[in-house]
Amino acid sequence: MQFIADLHVHSVASGHAYSTVTENVRAAAEQGLEVIALTDHGPQMPGGPHAYYFGNLAVIPETLFGVRVLKGVEANILDRQGTLDLEDQRLAKLDIVLAGLHTYCAPYGSVEENTQMLVNAIRNPWVDAIVHPGNPEYPVDFSVIVKAAVEFDVALEINNSSLTVSRKGSLPFCDTIAGLAKQYGAKVMLGTDSHFATHVGDFGAAVPLLAKNGIEADQVLNTSRQKLSDHLTRRGRVITV
Where is 225: in which H helix or E strand?
helix 225-232
Q: State CA 166 to chain mean position distance.
A: 15
Fold of 5-232: TIM Barrel (3.20.20)
pLDDT, position 85: 97
Alpha-carbon span 39 to 7, nearest angstrom: 8
What residue spans define the domains of the chain?
5-232
pLDDT digits (tens, 9 = 90+) for 49-78: 999 999 999 999 999 999 999 999 999 999
pLDDT, position 38: 98
pLDDT, position 98: 98
Helix 171-184 / helix 142-151 crossing angle, nearest 10 deg: 40
pLDDT, position 238: 86
**Which residues lie closer than 8 Å to 205 by C-beta, 6 or more apart?**
160, 163, 164
pLDDT, position 11: 98
In the predicted model, residues of the chain with pLDDT beneath 70 are none
pLDDT, position 104: 94
Alpha-carbon span 141 to 5, nearest angstrom: 29
pLDDT digits (tens, 9 = 90+) for 17-43: 999 999 999 999 999 999 999 999 999
